[in-house]
Amino acid sequence: MRWGLAAFALVLALVALAFGSAYYVSQPTTFRVAVSASDSQSRALFEAAAGILDTTKASVRLRVAAADDPLAALDKRAADFAVARSVDIMKAQAQTVLVLRQDAAVIMVPKPSKINTLPDLVSANIGVVRESYMTGGGLVAVMSYYGMDPTKLKLTPLAANEIAGAVRDKKINAVVIAGNLRAKSLAEAVADAAKSFKGGARFLDIEAADAIAKRVPDVESIEIDKGLFGGYPPMPDDSVNTVGLSVRLVADARLSNDRVSDFLTAIAMVKQQLIARVSGAGGLTIPDPDDESAFVLHQGVRTYNKGEVVGLLDKYSDQIYVGGLLASGIGSLFAGAFGMVESRRRRKSIAEVMEIERVLDEIDAARSEAELDALETRVNDVFRATLRKAMDGKIEPAAVAAFEMAYREARERTAMRRAAGMERPGPALVAAQ
């Protein structure tokens, strides 16, 4: 009985282990994203993504944490992903997973202005509006490339709503607006500047943007598409080149390709909702593996782009197959052991019935009252032992019923032998039996 219970308990434990393992594997994967406290745009983006993924019970979840230095948090494995500017990423070992947005310098002057090229800005009063947390290093790099002294630039920091007043008061005759090209706030600032300039605004083109980007790692070459800022006529009226930087989500090379691919799959599924909820999210882009930029892509990006997304069953197929074989073998082993133990227990359960059966044969062969008395005592002893087992629940009901029939038969045969005067039973007695 104890062996049976032990085997049954072990089988239950194996079943519990299998279900526990399945439950663990089916739990969502949570990724930690480190974002600079000053980067409100990125924080809003990933907090929105985290909310959508939580609501839809997705297999991937996000936890956003503010960090003084996201790249340091990534290096210490305090985060799985980090948001950083391209200029900072170039100095680190992190690898690109997503391009979140492009922060560019939009340079505008009045259409009638004599400022036609970048070098002409040296003589201008420039209002600088920052809609992002990019620095002024891009403009300095441009000036240095053209052989101009950046210290001679006359820069006036402004808020977006101060552009009109500064133009009206003739404090500025050019404006540089730095921000997320896809953000509504940048488009509104550009529209305000265009309205402030008499005769409309003109966008300056940095023709050497590609060459500057190759020469100066602090900046990237960015193209502003025709009509990107809307309006009628569209602004700008033609594509222009400028410089800026990109804000990227990066990961450590130690993060597995499958996990990065799973993350990108989840982001791709909620991208449309993010664009609808978060201003500027339209710039969210999964990098092209064939991009020849200086940024190192994580191998998980290539895994995602090749469609090599590994499903749950594929990922754990070998473990599931081997586990199934082991579970089946162990189950069969313990089923057989349990059957053997149960058979032994059943034989012990009917041992008393077998004992009474042997006594029945001996009653028929008894030749004296003394032998009958000894057999009757033996039957009574078996009866008392059986009664104790039945009270302890050690005998099945079917065995109890069989014993009752055998015990009654033994009593009747004993009485019949006594009545027959201890002679061997004849045909009539046998028939009566």
Q: Mind giving me the DSSP string for 366-428?
A: --SHHHHHHHHHHHHHHHHHHHHHHHTT-S-HHHHHHHHHHHHHHHHHHHHHHHTTTPPP-HH
Contacting residues for 99 by C-beta, under 8 A, at least 6 apart: 246, 247, 248, 249, 283, 284, 285, 286, 287
CA separation for the pair 363, 374 (Å, rounded): 10
For the chain, the average pLDDT equals 79
Give the least confident one: 18-27, 125-134, 164-173, 381-390: 18-27
Tell me: the pLDDT tens digits for 366-412? 778 887 778 778 777 777 777 777 676 666 676 667 667 777 777 77
Q: How many CA atoms lie within 13 A of 368 on its CB side?
A: 3
Query: Where is pLDDT greater, at 336 or 430?
Result: 336
Q: Is residue 36's pLDDT more than 90? A: yes
pLDDT of residue 9: 59
Q: Is residue 235's pLDDT more than 80? A: yes
Provide the 3-class DSSP secondary structure of residue 13. Answer: helix
CA separation for the pair 398, 27 (Å, rounded): 49
Tell me the mean pLDDT in the region 145-171: 86
Closest CA to 396 of 335, 347, 334, 362: 347
Tell me the mean pLDDT in the region 268-275: 93
Fold of the CATH domain 25-315: D-Maltodextrin-Binding Protein; domain 2 (3.40.190)
Helix or strand (DSSP H, E) at 3: helix 2-26
* pLDDT over 70 percentage in the chain: 73
Could you tell me the two tokens for 109? 């002057």
* DSSP per position, 204-271: PP-TTHHHHHHH-TT-EEEEE-TTTT-TTTTSSSS-EEEEEEEEEEEE-TTS-HHHHHHHHHHHHHHH
- Taking the complete model, does pTM exceed 0.75, yes or no? no
Tell me the mean pLDDT in the region 262-284: 92
CA separation for the pair 48, 32 (Å, rounded): 14
Q: How many CA atoms lie within 13 A of 323 on its CB side?
A: 12
Query: Where is pLDDT greater, at 408 or 422?
Result: 408
Q: What is the dihedral of CA 208, 214, 218, 223, to 10 degrees?
A: 50
pLDDT of residue 432: 45
Q: Is residue 279's pLDDT more than 90? A: no
pLDDT confidence of 211, banded at 50, 70, 90? Answer: confident
Query: Please, where are the H alpha helices in 278-368?
Result: 299-305, 312-315, 317-349, 351-365
User: Token match 């050019």: residue?
Assistant: 174
Could you tell me the two tokens for 35? 């974002």
Tell me the mean pLDDT in the region 259-283: 92
CA separation for the pair 294, 137 (Å, rounded): 19
CA separation for the pair 141, 121 (Å, rounded): 14
Could you tell me the two tokens for 422? 């201890």
Contacting residues for 61 by C-beta, under 8 A, at least 6 apart: 28, 29, 30, 31, 50, 53, 54
pLDDT confidence of 426, banded at 50, 70, 90? Answer: very low
CA separation for the pair 221, 225 (Å, rounded): 13
Q: Are 19 and 67 in contact (CB under 8 A)?
A: no
Most confident by average pLDDT, 320-334, 342-356, 362-376 = 362-376
For the chain, the structural domain boundaries read 25-315, 350-432
Query: Where is pLDDT greater, at 155 or 310?
Result: 155
pLDDT of residue 306: 81
Closest CA to 310 of 50, 59, 97: 59
Tell me the mean pLDDT in the region 351-378: 75
Tell me the mean pLDDT in the region 254-271: 93
pLDDT of residue 227: 92
Q: Is residue 251's pLDDT more than 90? A: yes
Most confident by average pLDDT, 133-147, 198-212, 247-261, 290-304 = 247-261
CA 114 to chain CA centroid, nearest Å: 57
Contacting residues for 78 by C-beta, under 8 A, at least 6 apart: 32, 34, 67
Query: Where is pLDDT greater, at 53 or 6?
Result: 53
Q: Is residue 345's pLDDT more than 70? A: no
* Phi and psi torsions of 283, nearest 5°: -85, 0
CA distances from 156 to 165, 174, 175, 237, 238 (A): 13, 10, 9, 27, 27
Q: How many CB atoms lie within 10 A of CB 426?
A: 10
pLDDT confidence of 87, banded at 50, 70, 90? Answer: confident
Give the least confident one: 84-98, 328-342, 356-370: 328-342
Q: Is residue 1's pLDDT more than 80? A: no
* pLDDT over 90 percentage in the chain: 31
pLDDT of residue 355: 73
Q: How many CA atoms lie within 13 A of 353 on its CB side?
A: 18
Q: How many CB atoms lie within 10 A of CB 216?
A: 18
Tell me the mean pLDDT in the region 90-113: 90
Query: Where is pLDDT greater, at 265 or 219?
Result: 265
pLDDT of residue 372: 76
Q: Is residue 240's pLDDT more than 90? A: yes
Q: Are 301 and 264 in contact (CB under 8 A)?
A: yes
Q: Are 110 and 203 in contact (CB under 8 A)?
A: no
Provide the 3-class DSSP secondary structure of residue 33. Answer: strand
pLDDT confidence of 136, banded at 50, 70, 90? Answer: low
Query: Where is pLDDT greater, at 130 or 14?
Result: 130
Could you tell me the two tokens for 213? 């980007």
DSSP 8-state class, residue 12: H
pLDDT confidence of 45, banded at 50, 70, 90? Answer: very high
Tell me the mean pLDDT in the region 90-117: 90
Query: Do the strands 95-110 and 240-251 form a parallel or antiparallel pair, or are they unpaired?
Result: antiparallel
